[in-house]
Structure 1
């Protein structure tokens, strides 16, 4: 059997990581991998996580299973963090998952059970794992325009024109904030227009919420998502704690389903638990336990939010510094979009050939579509990157 297998295509970002590791140059810059880094190039453990881990170590009495859906304290705390009071709790069902990717996979499995003919609408561009998982599951895919390569902003008219073709029961995958890979976000008034369109077509929003707190603030980053939840009968949300809690390797995620009414809650919850059972039985608990401890303890939560805000402001400062340096070197404001984007990522607008020249001639590593991780920069590397971008003719 095994000799019938064929090689799978290599992940481009993982290839980039390996190339960076093998590059002997001291001045190289890694803008490819999607993790937050501080000024020293480290991904630190947040203070609140350290404190919660110590408390857990001292108080935990068992490593037995929780339950198929995960610890109820975790799912309740995450529902509150993400949705606030936008929807009543009797319409909510949720499961803990191995990371945000696990939540996306479980959501798509749920769609396949409920409506295997549903088309999944993806923004162009989107995170590469989105189409990869959807194709693997054999679900139909359609694209909607999202990014305007000329303005480096959202092509909102194109987005609406494409989504107007979505049918009732289709799923529209939207990024809650800090759009990956572009960094270009919808405004709250635009979210309202999207809600109008979804109400009209009957398509169901599926929100990927991987970066809450990295854009404009915890509540601000959830505002569009909450608006949809308050107005539409159904909603799926896949959320990750990897970035905003810095617990990447703990694989801590959640899938939340908003049902049309309270009567459907039990059936939806049973189906979510069923999917966990089929895929991995009980979800991992360590990271989820830390998150629930932080979110329910006022002192821990205040410390976490303070450090998260420092992370957010650092990325914003790096964006503004890079945009300013590029304006100085180029004599134009064509890179001003970098300061307007939010989150870890932006597309700088380089061609594949220019991206290759950045790597070859300057030791700057970014994905071939010119997606770069702003958090890979620091005060010393910003002018180096800016000069390299101008030198290759972007």
Structure 2
């Protein structure tokens, strides 16, 4: 049976990671893999996470299953983190949250649930978008359409083209939006633009589906969620996929959450029962450890304050790197868009050939599209990277 299978090419990001590891040059720089790095080039374990794990190891009494919905405490804490404390949607029972294996698990379970609601569901995604959106959503059987998002010349949001295309969407179609820190461009909607999008979604009868993978790494926890929260308050139904990989540094723990918002409490209960049936038929129950860490942090005032302080430092560091990077590239062009964008990623707007020269001649690794992980820079390597980019331009 297996002999009929063809060999598939490796994922470009994973291939880049493998090539980087095989490079023996001591001054090589990885700007491709999307993980946060500190000034020493490490992906650290956050102090609050260390303390939460210590408490869990000392107090944990069982390794029993947590159930398909995951831990109730984690789900409640994530609802408040995403939608805000005291949000009426939570109070009125219109919201439910399930714990998932990472943001990827949330995206895929949402896609399976949406296909259950309507077998020929169409989901509109940004061009460009995170590469894994396509297999996660399309693999569940959703029809994928694309809407223009990034102006390739200015590397800013092409808002008029976005609206013009979404006006052709049909009632019941799903619109995938990046909550903040757009991956891969770093170009985010303003709050005013979120309000216009909300009006269009209401007018057309569309379902918003927000991917919130980087809350806290753009401008702060509340500022990053402002657009999502506004939209949630305007529409009868909404889906949110959230990840704890970046803002808690829990990459390998695969911790995420899927939020359903329904028109009424009764509808929400029915929808959640269907969603849990989908979960049961796929991975049955989520892993517990990462969610227990998040719950411990968010439910303890001291740990939460420590976590928010450290997360705020990460956010400020990325913003500082953006400004420094743009300034360092100024001699060869206007790279001010890097300073205006948010989150970990930006496109440099250089050619694949120039990206190849950076890798071969200078040991600087980024995706062929010129997407760079700004958080992979630090004060030591930034001058080296900027000099190499100037030389290939």
- Tell me which interval the TM-score lies in, with the shorter structure as reference length: over 0.9
Q: Deviations over 1:219-264 (max 9, x none)?
A: 0000000011000011000000000000101000010010111111
Specify whether residues 62 and 154 from structure 1 end up closer, same or farther in structure 2 by C-alpha distance, changes over 3 A only. Answer: same
Q: Is the 8 A contact 1:86 1:229 kept in 2?
A: no
CA distance in 1, matches of 2:141, 2:272: 24
Match for residue 50 of structure 2?
A: 50
In the other structure, the counterpart of 2:22 is: 22
Structure 1 residues 11 and 186, CA gap change in structure 2 (3 angstroms): same
Matches within 5 A, 1:247-266: 247-266=250-269
Contact 1:32 1:373 in 2 (8 A): yes
> CA shift at 1:59, angstroms?
1.0
SS at match of 1:255: strand
- Secondary structure of the 2:346 match is strand
Instruction: Report the equivalent of 1:88.
Output: 89
The residue number in structure 2 matching 1:389 is 389
Q: Aligned in 2, Cα 1:372/1:119: closer, same or farther, shift over 3 Å?
A: same
Calculate the aligned-residue CA RMSD, in Å.
0.9
The equivalent of 1:62 in structure 2 is 62
Partner residue, 1:339: 339
Deviation at 1:346, TM superposition (A): 0.2
**3-state DSSP of counterpart to 2:304:** helix
Match in the other structure for 1:279: 282
The residue that corresponds to 1:242 in the other structure is 245
Report if aligned partners of 2:107, 2:137 keep a CA contact under 8 Å in 1. no
Aligned counterpart, 1:371: 371
Distance in 2 between residues matched to 1:61 and 1:382, nearest whole Å? 47
Instruction: State the alpha-carbon separation in 2 of the partners of residues 346 and 325 from structure 1.
Output: 15
TM score, norm. by length of structure 1: 0.97
1:313 paired residue number: 316
In 1, the alpha carbon distance for the partners of 2:26 and 2:373 equals 19
Determine the structure 2 residue equivalent to 1:224. 227
Evaluate the alpha carbon distance shift between residue 347 and residue 281 of structure 1 in structure 2; reply closer, same or farther with a 3 A threshold.
same
What per-residue deviation string (whole Å, max 9, x for no partner) do you get for residues 248-302 of structure 1? Answer: 0100001001011111121111112112111111111111011011111000000
Q: Distance in 2 between matches of 1:147 and 1:43?
A: 29
Q: Matched residues in 2 for 1:215 and 1:14: separation?
A: 25
Q: Is the 8 A contact 1:86 1:227 kept in 2?
A: no
Where 1:144 maps in the other structure, the secondary structure is strand
Residue 228 of structure 2 is aligned to residue 204 of structure 1: no
TM-score, normalization by structure 2: 0.98
- Cα offset, 1:128, TM superposition: 0.4
Matched position secondary structure for 2:356: helix
CA-CA distance at 1:218 after TM superposition: 0.1
4+ residue segments displaced more than 6 Å: none
